[in-house]
């Protein structure tokens, strides 16, 4: 028995370390943060992230009920840091540094998403990839339709008319998040009505925040459902049932550091194509802005189905994606927790808002899962990506949902929901607002 196996067998470990050594390391990492002398550099910020998140992650992985039904370590890191922020347990300077690195100036989240998208798409078999994306738009529309039906029905119980339910609840929740959903929806509202965009956005972001929490918890419950009924889900990498060997047979390919470099170059090229399409070549379709991620996904799919990427680079992209997801997921969750205003959530927790958001999220699950099954998808994976990843807060919400469901390799489908699906909602909203307010 190796020394590592003996340590894991005989001691309580955290991150592979004996627990007391891990605690000492965490305390040492935290001291500069609380003394206000921690560097604002990437290294200093990562030091703070690990000090805050690694113990929470371990608790979430071990806590009964939470680990199987709520979302495990990643979700515990998210909520734990958000609560610590609310009670001012984390220095504001540290929060600012984490936000700057993860989602603002440095935007590590963008790098994380790009690598995951390219790695997950290139890892899939060509035929499976084509069939999966062909049936995905109907699954998204199915989730949107069912969310609208259940939302309207619940709204009537609380005295909210169908039109108000669609405009104030369904569209913001199913719009693909904040930056790609609630913000442009507010701009459309202002351009059509003449009323200030902030008047629409203020409520939209609150109801979206409530739905985001339900989406994350729903993702964890879907994972549990898949464990109890394995026939309802696949191997957590693709949507298509009866797909045979869904991943490329690249496990036997030896990859080098040069291959990793080539995979990163391809990932950055795909990202650059997305930016060019979004900013220069075709920013809008039918008046709705198409996000750079949506274009990037489409271009990556083209590369995958045409077979122009060598097998060693595909294998390297898959390997690097898996490494990044496993080792830096808690960094992303730390950033999302540091950016989340839990007080905003508490303020909006009226019975009507909570129940309407819940039923819209349930509708997204049922509609996307049901239609997904009809087009040949596993219902759980379709409900997660085409349903819940439409009903959350976009890129951050996608990562939280996929992390809670232990299906991070479905990131490409999740981003299609948030970006391309969100674009569909914006087009629908343009017609709805014009019809209602003119």
Mean pLDDT over each residue of the chain, to the nearest integer: 85
Specify the pLDDT at position 438.
64
Q: Which residue, 61, 83, 103, sits at the end of a domain?
A: 103
The distance of Cα 117 from the centroid of its chain, to the nearest Å, equals 11
Question: What's residue 308's pLDDT?
Answer: 93
CA atoms within 13 A on the CB side of 394: 21
Q: In angstroms, how far apart are the furthest CA atoms of the chain?
A: 75
What was the pLDDT predicted at 287?
Answer: 67
Query: And the tokens for 307?
Result: 């077979």
User: Is the pLDDT assigned to residue 249 strictly greater than 60?
Assistant: no
Which residues are registered as beta bridge partners of 289?
Answer: 284
Angle between helices 422-437 and 183-193 (to 10 degrees): 20
256, 121: one domain? yes
Nearest to 325 by CA among 120, 160, 101: 120
- Span between the terminal Cα atoms of the chain, in Å: 75
Instruction: Say whether both 222 and 91 belong to one domain.
Output: no
How large is the average pLDDT for residues 44-72? 85
Q: Residue 208 belongs to what domain range?
A: 109-437
Of 35-39, 134-138, 356-360, 428-432, the poorest mean pLDDT is in 428-432
* Structural domain total, the chain: 2
Residue after which a domain boundary falls, among 88, 103, 118: 103
Q: For the chain, what is the HEC assignment?
A: CCHHHHHHHHCCEECCEEHHHHHHHHHHHHHHHHHCCCCCCHHHHHHHHHHHHHHHHHHHHHCCCHHHHHCHHHHHHHHHHHHHHHCCCCCHHHHHHHHHHHCCCCCHHHHHHHHHHHHHHHCECHHHHHHHHHCHHHHHHHHHHHHHHHHHHHHHHCCCCHHHHHHHHHHHHCCCCHHHHHHHHHHHHHHHHCCCHHHHHHHHHHHHHHHHHHHHHHHHHHHHHHHHCHHHCCCCCCCECCCCCCECCCCCCCCCHHHHHHHHHHHHHHHHHHHHHHHHHCCEECCEECCHHHHHHHHHHHHHHHCCCCHHHHHHHHHHHHHHHHHHHHHHHHHHHHHCCHHHHHHCCCHHHHHHHHHHHHHHHHHHHHHHHHCCECHHHHHHHHHHHHHCCCHHHHHHHHHHHCCHHHHHHHHHHHHHHHHHHHHHHHHHHHHHHC
102: pLDDT strictly greater than 50: yes
Residues 51 and 118 in one domain: no
Is residue 195 pLDDT above 50, yes or no? yes
What pLDDT, in 10s, does the model give residues 333-377?
888 788 877 887 677 778 999 999 999 999 999 999 999 999 999
| pLDDT for 7 beyond 50 | no
Average confidence (pLDDT) over 129-158: 90
Instruction: Tell me what pLDDT residue 206 has.
Output: 80
59 has a pLDDT exceeding 80: yes
Residues 291 and 378 both lie in one domain = yes
| Contact status, residue 169 vs residue 356, Cβ threshold 8 Å | yes
CA distance to 169, 319, 368, per residue, from 359 (Å): 11, 38, 14
Torsion-angle region of 65 (φ positive above 0: left; ψ -120 to 50: alpha; else: beta): left
Q: What is the spatial distance between Cα 358 and Cα 112, in angstroms, rounded to a whole number?
A: 29
pLDDT attached to residue 251:
54
Q: Nearest Cα to 360, choosing from 183, 211, 175?
A: 211
Look at residue 246 in the predicted model and tell me its pLDDT: 45
Over 50: is that where the pLDDT of 158 sits?
A: yes
Pair 280, 195 in one domain: yes
pTM of the predicted structure, to 2 decimals: 0.72
Q: How many CB atoms lie within 10 A of CB 111?
A: 16
Classified as helix, coil or strand, 124 is strand
**Structural domain ending residue among the three candidates 67, 83, 103:** 103
Burial per residue of 74-90, b for 16 or more beta-carbon CB atoms within 10 angstroms, e otherwise: bbbbbbbbbebbeeeeb
* pLDDT, position 226: 94
Residue 71 is predicted with a pLDDT of: 61
What does the buried/exposed string (b/e) look like for 355-369 if buried means 16 or more CB atoms within 10 Å of the residue's CB?
A: ebbbbbbbbbbbbbb
pLDDT of residue 181 exceeding 80: no
Could you report the per-residue pLDDT of 26-57, keeping only the tens digit for each? 999 999 999 999 999 999 999 999 999 999 99
Q: How many residues does the chain have?
A: 438
Domain identity same for 51 and 135: no
**Average pLDDT value for residue range 78-104:** 92
What was the pLDDT predicted at 243?
61
Residues 16 and 122 both lie in one domain: no
CA distances to 89, 237, 401, 408 from 381, rounded to whole Å, are 37, 9, 11, 11
193-214 average pLDDT score: 80
- Distance CA(162)–CA(342), nearest Å, equals 29
Q: Is the pLDDT of residue 145 over 50?
A: yes
Are residues 368 and 260 part of one domain?
A: yes
pLDDT band at 245 (very low <50, low <70, confident <90, very high): very low
Task: Say whether pLDDT at 214 is over 70.
Answer: yes
Same-domain status, 246 and 389: yes
| 4 — pLDDT class (breaks 50, 70, 90) | low
pLDDT at 416 over 70: yes
Same domain? For 92 and 119 the reply is no
Which residues touch 254 (CB under 8 Å, ≥6 apart)? none
What DSSP string runs through 208-221?
A: HHHHHHHHHHHHHH
Interval 133-145 mean pLDDT:
89
Which of the four pLDDT bands, split at 50, 70 and 90, describes residue 1? very low
The answer to whether residues 83 and 182 belong to one domain is no
Answer whether 11's CB lies under 8 Å from 18's CB: yes
Tell me: pLDDT of 95 over 80.
Answer: yes
Average pLDDT on 259-266 reads 95
pLDDT average, residue stretch 164-181: 83
- Asked if residue 328 has pLDDT above 50, the reply is yes
Range ranked top by mean pLDDT from 14-18, 107-111, 134-138, 355-359: 355-359
**Domain co-membership, 13 together with 88:** yes
């Amino acid at each position: 028995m190796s020394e590592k196996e003996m340590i894991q067998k005989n001691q309580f470990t955290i991150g592979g370390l004996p627990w007391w050594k891990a605690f000492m390391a965490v305390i040492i990492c935290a001291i500069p943060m609380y003394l206000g002398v921690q560097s604002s550099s990437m290294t200093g910020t990562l030091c703070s992230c690990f000090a805050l998140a690694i113990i929470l992650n371990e608790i979430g992985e071990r806590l009964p009920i939470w680990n199987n039904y709520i979302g495990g370590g990643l979700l515990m890191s998210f909520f734990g840091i958000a609560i610590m922020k609310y009670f001012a347990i984390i220095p504001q300077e540290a929060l600012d540094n984490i936000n700057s690195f993860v989602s603002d100036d440095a935007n590590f989240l963008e790098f994380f998403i790009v690598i995951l998208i390219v790695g997950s798409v290139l890892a899939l078999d060509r035929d499976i990839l084509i069939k999966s994306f062909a049936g995905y738009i109907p699954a998204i529309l199915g989730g949107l339709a069912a969310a609208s039906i259940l939302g309207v029905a619940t709204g009537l119980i609380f005295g909210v008319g169908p039109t108000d339910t669609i405009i104030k609840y369904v569209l913001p929740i199913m719009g693909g998040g904040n930056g790609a959903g609630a913000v442009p929806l507010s701009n459309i509202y202002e351009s059509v009505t003449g009323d200030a965009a902030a008047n629409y956005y203020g409520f939209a972001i609150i109801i979206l925040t409530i739905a985001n929490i339900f989406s994350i918890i729903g993702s964890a419950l879907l994972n549990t459902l898949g464990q109890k009924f394995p026939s309802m889900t696949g191997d957590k990498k693709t949507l298509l049932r009866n797909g045979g060997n869904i991943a490329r047979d690249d496990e036997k390919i030896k990859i080098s550091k040069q291959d990793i470099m080539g995979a990163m170059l391809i990932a950055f090229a795909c990202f650059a194509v997305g930016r060019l399409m979004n900013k220069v070549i075709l920013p809008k379709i039918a008046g709705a802005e198409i996000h750079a991620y949506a274009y990037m996904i489409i271009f990556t799919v083209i590369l995958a189905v045409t077979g122009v990427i060598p097998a060693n680079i595909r294998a390297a992209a898959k390997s690097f994606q898996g490494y990044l997801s496993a080792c830096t997921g808690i960094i992303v969750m730390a950033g999302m927790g540091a950016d989340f205003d839990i007080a905003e959530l508490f303020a909006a927790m009226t019975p009507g808002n909570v129940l309407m958001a819940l039923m819209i999220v349930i509708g997204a699950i049922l509609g996307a899962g049901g239609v997904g099954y009809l087009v040949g998808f596993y219902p759980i994976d379709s409900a997660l990506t085409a349903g819940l990843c439409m009903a959350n807060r976009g890129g951050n919400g996608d990562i939280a949902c996929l992390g809670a469901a232990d299906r991070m390799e479905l990131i490409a489908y999740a981003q299609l929901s948030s970006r391309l699906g969100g674009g569909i909602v914006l087009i629908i909203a343009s017609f709805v607002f014009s019809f209602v307010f003119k």
